[in-house]
Amino acid sequence: MVEKITNNDMSKALNAKVAVVDFSATWCGPCQMLAPLLEELSQELTDVKFFNADTDENTELAIRNGISNIPALLLLKDGQVVDRHIGFAPKQQLKDWINK
């Protein structure tokens, strides 16, 4: 399950051992294509927590994380951003990125 981030509060993602945070927007076509892939990955990679932050609703959070293009994925390990991925990618490429 991909959990929604609200009120610019990313604390659950920061407290997870491994987390993927998807910064997106409802008007973004590639974001809408990416969402179902992340939902599938959340079912397959049970040791990874998945989150979604709508940049229109969480503008402050997007600014704090330097998000200027969407979709943007942040990979967090023990509360630290260890990698970023910008744009759409196929499911296997995303899975490989998370597992590296």
Which residue among 2, 10, 19, 31 is the active-site one?
Answer: 31
**Predicted pLDDT of residue 12:** 97
Active site residue 52: no
Check if the beta carbon of residue 19 is closer than 8 Å to that of residue 13: yes
* CATH number (domain holding residue 11): 3.40.30.10
Q: What's the pLDDT band for 13 if we cut at 50, 70, 90?
A: very high
Range of the domain at 73: 2-99
Q: Choosing from 28, 48, 74, 94, which is the catalytic residue?
A: 28
Q: Read off the pTM.
A: 0.96
Q: Identify the band that residue 54 occupies on the pLDDT scale cut at 50, 70 and 90.
A: very high
What is the pLDDT, as a whole number, of residue 81?
Answer: 96
Residue found under tokens 């990979």: 75
Instruction: Please state, rounded to an integer, the average pLDDT across all residues of the chain.
Output: 97
Res 27: pLDDT: 97
Strand order in the sheet with 18-24: 2-4, 49-54, 18-24, 72-77, 80-86
- Told to judge if 63 belongs to the known catalytic residues of this protein, a careful annotator would answer no
- Report how many domains make up the chain: 1
Confidence (pLDDT) at 76: 97
